[in-house]
Amino acid sequence: MTVSVLGVAGSPRRGGNSETLLDEVLKGAKEAGALTEKIVLAQSNIGPCKACNVCSQTGTCIQDDDMATTIEKMKASRVWVIATPVYWWGPTAQMKAFIDRWYAIPRDIFRGKRIILAASSNGGETYQEFMVETFSAIFDYLGMEKYRILQVAGTSAKTSARNNFALMEAAHAAGLDAVKTLRGP
């Protein structure tokens, strides 16, 4: 059975550090034989949660946007790569809207999904801690498997991650290993 890997790019800046990490994870996953797909949230029409709570009664969000097709991709994928830079100790607005919309998704879609989180920031590693802890709590709450966390700090240049060869190697290995260990030896 072929493993599907879904990458979710949360940065509004294309080709930046978090997306570079995401692309390298997907490259490793593809090398291991996975089917890969990437969603760029900044190019998607995913609105923020309206807090109307209709989804709790109907099981479906009332918004007619790209989230419905994104949910189908989430269902079909065994591994998710969530990539976002840190903006003010949290994810980007695009990633936050995406995560908030998880409220309307049945919990069984999340259980057992293997997660790789890729985070970048211009600040130091302590600047990322709050966001990484928040995402970890969300993943635990939903019964997801935190497989790897890739962090790059001090990314003042758009190419900081790309020029960090050890980090790029770790990102590639995360994608490769995430798929290989699901398929067995």
Span 166-180, average pLDDT: 92
pTM (predicted TM-score): 0.91
Across the chain, mean pLDDT equals 89
Q: Using alpha carbons only, how large is the chain's radius of gyration in Å?
A: 16
Residue 185, pLDDT > 60, answer: no
Phi-psi region of 95 (alpha: psi -120 to 50; beta: other; left: phi over 0): alpha
Span 136-162, average pLDDT: 82
Under the banding of pLDDT at 50, 70 and 90, the label for residue 159 is low
Under the banding of pLDDT at 50, 70 and 90, the label for residue 168 is confident
User: What residues contact 179, with CB distance under 8 A and at least 6 apart?
Assistant: 3, 5, 28, 29, 32, 33, 34, 79
Domain tally for the chain?
1
Q: Could you tell me if 43 and 98 are in contact, meaning their C-beta atoms sit under 8 angstroms apart?
A: no
* pLDDT at position 138: 94
How confident is the model over 74-96, as pLDDT tens digits?
999 999 999 998 888 889 999 99
* CATH code of the domain in which 102 resides: 3.40.50.360
Task: Find the domain containing 17 and state its range.
Answer: 4-183
How confident is the model over 24-33, as pLDDT tens digits?
999 999 999 9
